[in-house]
Chain A
Amino acid sequence: MDARSITGMSLDQIHHVVLWAVITLFVSILLMVVYALFQRMLRDRSEAAIARCEAAMQAQLQQHLSGELTGAALVAHWSRRRGRAHRRLMASVLRLAASRREPDEREALRRVFADTGLAADARADLGNGDPAIRAHAANLLGYLGGDGERIALRGALADPDLDTRLEVAQALAENGDVNAAVAILQAIALPGEWPSRRATEILLELGPPVAAPLLRFLSQPSGETGSAAQVVAINALGMLGDARASDALRARLRQGALEVRIACAKALGGIGGADNGEALTQALFDEDWEVRSMAAKSLGRLACQPALPALRSVLPDPGWWVRYNAAEALHALGEPGLRVLRESAEQHPDRFARDICLQVLQEHPQAGARQEATA
């Protein structure tokens, strides 16, 4: 057994390779150290340059907005930058500078972006091969708004990259493109990767006008829409508090996929109303604890007095969160609920019900003080 049989090389050959490895490593380390110091110097300088550039842009923008500098002069000054990467950097710096301006200056700033060609660059970048560049472009177009930008963004909803689609959707939402609501919903729907909170946020950016398209979406048969998309639509409607959604939500609360029922229980709490309170009270006896828990939480939010007997009856529920939310809901009912909590804390036959009532009373010092005063 020798070196060649183990490594395929003789010892001398191995020593030779190691010698070259040592030389290579030594040179590499020297180069890396020099590069680290050089990179630091460059980065310090570029950060300083960007800061100066931004300050200069702010000053020029201020001059332009106050009428001291014509648009043509501004455009001429900025349009001297030719390289694409340089222009992207300029767009980022200008975006940053613009974000620090007043909202009512936005229209004037949009014209600056259009006149310098940066807006056109961004529209073109929506087709770039790099998803990060596409996402940045979508972000900028969202700020710019405008019909041309909206058309470009709608086309980009078909982007293969989810992060880019999210940015595109966010951009459309910022521009109040209500007609794109359903397209947005469908564009960012993926089973298993569903960023439901993010999707709900984006729809909420569209404001109350988004309720109508979402209701139309929910009126389609469930099989055509998918439960993930339904959940997002329901969450958004609940947060908007749109009462027109109540019928559709009550129907789905009775029969729907689990996550849909949970979302409906939450949304009905956001919408309110006596009929919804009744539906939520019935949901306190749903077969799934998550639905019961959310129903109890929503009843607390509504401070639904007629639900008091039902809330008391679920205090011994096997699910901790159901018990806790029911006790919190009782607390939200004011004195009648507090009376039930105090009585249950002392006399309820179920130990878990007693414990949870005691905890909730103690977590609300005023209620606890009243308990001590009446003891």
Chain B
Amino acid sequence: MNIDLATVVIVALLVIFMFYVALHGSYLLLIVLGAFGLRDYNRRINFGEFERIADSELTLPITLILPAYNEEQIIVGSVIGALALKYPQFEVMVVNDGSTDATLQKLIRHFNLRKVDKQGQLRIPTQRVRGIYESVDHPGLVVVDKENGRRGDAINAGANLSRYPLLCVTDADSVFEDDAMLRAVRPFLLNTRVVAAGGIVRPSNGMRIENGRIIDHRVPRKMLPLVQAVEYLRSFQWARMGLARLRSMLCISGAFLVVRKEVFMALHGSNADSITDDIDFTVRLHEWIYRQPGRDRPLVEYIPDPVCYTEVPESMRIFASQRNRWQRGTLEALFRRWTMTFNPRYGITGMFGMPFFMLFEGFAAVIELLGIVLAVVAWFLGLVTLPILLLYLALAILLGTFLSVSAVLLQERTRGRVGSTGDLLRLLWAGLVNNFGYHQLHLLFRVGGTFDYLVRGRRDLGKMERYSTFESSSSSAPR
């Protein structure tokens, strides 16, 4: 059979085109499911419900775990904000994961910590715990100082020492809405089958935050964090909502994960060796769910209310490193559980969720880049004319813009919609502009991550840097 280059290029482009039809068809399904999920959620919240949860002595107590590595700039403010959360019973457990800066010293000074001989159940092995501190002034604050073992190891150390049946894992730079915990715990109180929940995470860049409390909700002013804000909306506002309804939300963000402690322990906690512990844990959680006997499977819920805000990179260098790491982490988590893919034993998770993530998250960047390269080759070979090439380029841009605008529309239906019409216009503008350069750069970083993982075998975390600081008060000064 005589197959020439032109035929190969055209066939490859057609296959990629069909891939994109499938991809955006799935996205459209998720948008619809996400919209209905959001509507159902809002309608089911009854008058006074969160006040009732806040006042009840039966509300499940929570351990809030903050793994911290070299966070001296923001840790005091973050802990102040965490301690001020509106919730009847909780403890804040900061795990200092072998910081080389003054993270621990700042905590000791500001919160009047004293060392105690606290012993936990130690069900999960971790790096050596050097000391445990409790605050004289804040009974709900515990600080664990340990040798460095990565984020997953720090979370496990916190879980070992936690007292309460629910764990909320977050980042040291996360800032919460006052009632974040009340909203997060609601699914657990309504249904004992719920074993884990995630919530909406949005960028905190551009917000005015003092002592870990949000004073002014604003969208980022700089372009890079602004396009990430739109990307987070796409990911959290409809994608995860839709995926949760299909039992396929295989990535609960590590910035806000609530899980029953007994389930966390049954899964042997976070995988300290993983590149991204959050997606690794969520995939393992879904595998565990399908191993449980009985018809009534445990559930993973999604809370379509913004509950948590976290910093996103403001420099291209850090953004590149982050996306490289996320791509490698995604591939690692999926490949470790590749037997779940198209495996009917894992129900809809295996038949839809895993293939969706494997194809549309794991390899979409490589396929898209290949499509761009082949399109240019086809043009050079005279297989397509410039107008046709521009037509497909317009399709790609408009598809991306459609998804972004859908997400912005949906966020208007949440209680955390952007405050001003100006911010709304900024988000819409970013949804369009994203397709002219930023998306393509993001694509290259993800392809780089794929190459680093598959070819170079990189398993490290890259250089972890604080992106910026949002502190505007002198909260870090000693009392």
Q: Show the binding face of A for B, using Cβ within 8 Å.
A: 1-3, 6-7, 11, 14-15, 18-19, 21-22, 25-26, 28-29, 32-33, 35-37, 39-40, 43, 92, 95-96, 99, 130, 132, 135-136, 139-140, 162-163, 166-167, 191-198, 200-201, 320-321, 355-356, 358-359, 362-363, 365
Q: Pick the contact of B394: A22, A39, A197 (CB < 8 A).
A: A22
A1 adjacent to B409 (CB under 8 Å): no
Q: Pick the contact of A365: B46, B59, B136, B425 (CB < 8 A).
A: B136
A362 adjacent to B117 (CB under 8 Å): yes
Closest 5 CB pairs of A and B: A132-B43, A192-B296, A25-B398, A197-B58, A320-B121
| Chain B residues touching A, majority SS | helix
CB distance from A51 to the nearest CB of B (A): 15
Nearest A residue (CB) for B401: A29
Q: List 5 A-B contacts (CB under 8 A).
A: A14-B17, A32-B405, A40-B421, A96-B47, A193-B193
CA distance A350 to B79 in the complex (A): 37
Which of the candidate stretches B3-11, B221-229, B281-289, B308-316 sits at the interface with the other chain? B3-11
A355 adjacent to B117 (CB under 8 Å): yes
User: Does B377 sit at the interface, judged by CB under 8 A?
Assistant: no
Contacts of A35 in B (CB 8 A): 409
User: Does B347 sit at the interface, judged by CB under 8 A?
Assistant: no
CA distance A279 to B402 in the complex (A): 67
B405 adjacent to A197 (CB under 8 Å): no
User: Does B105 sit at the interface, judged by CB under 8 A?
Assistant: no
A201 adjacent to B56 (CB under 8 Å): yes
Q: Mark B1-42, 1 if CB is under 8 A from A, else 0.
A: 001000100110011011000000000000000000000100
A25 adjacent to B399 (CB under 8 Å): yes
Q: Pick the contact of B402: A28, A36, A130, A196 (CB < 8 A).
A: A28
A7 adjacent to B14 (CB under 8 Å): yes
CA distance A136 to B191 in the complex (A): 19
Q: Pick the contact of A39: B56, B121, B398, B412 (CB < 8 A).
A: B412
A29 adjacent to B398 (CB under 8 Å): yes
Contact A22/B46 with A7-B18, A356-B119, A359-B119 known, Cβ cut-off 8 Å: no
Contacts of B417 in A (CB 8 A): 40
B395 adjacent to A198 (CB under 8 Å): no
CA distance A96 to B46 in the complex (A): 12
Q: Mark B403-446, 1 if CB is under 8 A from A, else 0.
A: 00110110010000100010011001000000000000000000
A363 adjacent to B116 (CB under 8 Å): yes
User: Does B474 sit at the interface, judged by CB under 8 A?
Assistant: no
Most buried by B among A3, A15, A36, A96: A36
Nearest A residue (CB) for B393: A22
CA distance A167 to B48 in the complex (A): 11
Contacts of B60 in A (CB 8 A): 197
User: Does B457 sit at the interface, judged by CB under 8 A?
Assistant: no
Contacts of B17 in A (CB 8 A): 7, 14
B412 adjacent to A40 (CB under 8 Å): yes
CB distance from A180 to the nearest CB of B (A): 19
B190 adjacent to A198 (CB under 8 Å): yes
B47 adjacent to A95 (CB under 8 Å): yes
Contacts of B192 in A (CB 8 A): 192-196
CA distance A35 to B428 in the complex (A): 12
CB distance from B24 to the nearest CB of A (A): 10
Contacts of B401 in A (CB 8 A): 25, 29
User: Does B388 sit at the interface, judged by CB under 8 A?
Assistant: yes
B14 adjacent to A37 (CB under 8 Å): no
B191 adjacent to A139 (CB under 8 Å): no
B398 adjacent to A359 (CB under 8 Å): no
CA distance A193 to B195 in the complex (A): 12
Q: Pick the contact of B395: A11, A22, A96, A197 (CB < 8 A).
A: A22
Nearest A residue (CB) for B46: A139
Contacts of B58 in A (CB 8 A): 197-198, 200-201
Contacts of B118 in A (CB 8 A): 359, 362-363
CB distance from B41 to the nearest CB of A (A): 10
User: Does B373 sit at the interface, judged by CB under 8 A?
Assistant: no
A18 adjacent to B409 (CB under 8 Å): no
User: Does B370 sit at the interface, judged by CB under 8 A?
Assistant: no
A358 adjacent to B117 (CB under 8 Å): yes
Contact A195/B47 with A6-B11, A6-B15, A18-B391 known, Cβ cut-off 8 Å: no
Nearest A residue (CB) for B59: A197
Q: Mark B280-309, 1 if CB is under 8 A from A, else 0.
A: 000000000000001010000000000000
A166 adjacent to B190 (CB under 8 Å): yes
CA distance A16 to B123 in the complex (A): 62
CB distance from B406 to the nearest CB of A (A): 7
| Chain A residues touching B, majority SS | helix
CA distance A96 to B15 in the complex (A): 57
A135 adjacent to B44 (CB under 8 Å): yes
Q: Mark B321-339, 1 if CB is under 8 A from A, else 0.
A: 0000000000000000000
CA distance A26 to B10 in the complex (A): 26
Contacts of B140 in A (CB 8 A): none
CA distance A24 to B18 in the complex (A): 19
Q: Pick the contact of A15: B134, B296, B388, B406 (CB < 8 A).
A: B388
Q: Mark B370-410, 1 if CB is under 8 A from A, else 0.
A: 00000000000000000010011011001101100110110
B47 adjacent to A136 (CB under 8 Å): yes
Q: Pick the contact of A43: B3, B14, B47, B412 (CB < 8 A).
A: B412
Contacts of A193 in B (CB 8 A): 191-193, 296
CA distance A320 to B136 in the complex (A): 25
User: Does B189 sit at the interface, judged by CB under 8 A?
Assistant: yes
B395 adjacent to A36 (CB under 8 Å): no
CA distance A355 to B59 in the complex (A): 31
CB distance from A39 to the nearest CB of B (A): 6
CA distance A35 to B58 in the complex (A): 43
CB distance from A206 to the nearest CB of B (A): 15
CA distance A18 to B59 in the complex (A): 54
Nearest A residue (CB) for B421: A40
Contacts of A356 in B (CB 8 A): 119
B190 adjacent to A195 (CB under 8 Å): yes
B44 adjacent to A18 (CB under 8 Å): no
CB distance from B204 to the nearest CB of A (A): 23
CA distance A11 to B60 in the complex (A): 60
A359 adjacent to B191 (CB under 8 Å): no
B116 adjacent to A359 (CB under 8 Å): yes
User: Does B120 sit at the interface, judged by CB under 8 A?
Assistant: yes
CB distance from A225 to the nearest CB of B (A): 18
Nearest A residue (CB) for B398: A25
CA distance A265 to B118 in the complex (A): 26
Q: Mark B108-137, 1 if CB is under 8 A from A, else 0.
A: 000000001111110000000000001010
CA distance A15 to B390 in the complex (A): 11
CA distance A171 to B373 in the complex (A): 64
B424 adjacent to A1 (CB under 8 Å): no
CB distance from A282 to the nearest CB of B (A): 26
Contacts of B120 in A (CB 8 A): 320
Contacts of B398 in A (CB 8 A): 22, 25-26, 29
CB distance from B230 to the nearest CB of A (A): 13
CA distance A21 to B192 in the complex (A): 45
A21 adjacent to B14 (CB under 8 Å): no
Contacts of A92 in B (CB 8 A): 47
CA distance A99 to B48 in the complex (A): 10
B399 adjacent to A363 (CB under 8 Å): no
A36 adjacent to B10 (CB under 8 Å): no
Task: Knowing that A18-B391, A197-B60, A355-B117 touch, tell me 4 more A-B residue pairs with CB under 8 angstroms.
Answer: A1-B11, A40-B424, A95-B47, A195-B192
CA distance A331 to B17 in the complex (A): 71
Contacts of A355 in B (CB 8 A): 117, 119
B395 adjacent to A25 (CB under 8 Å): yes
Nearest B residue (CB) for A361: B117
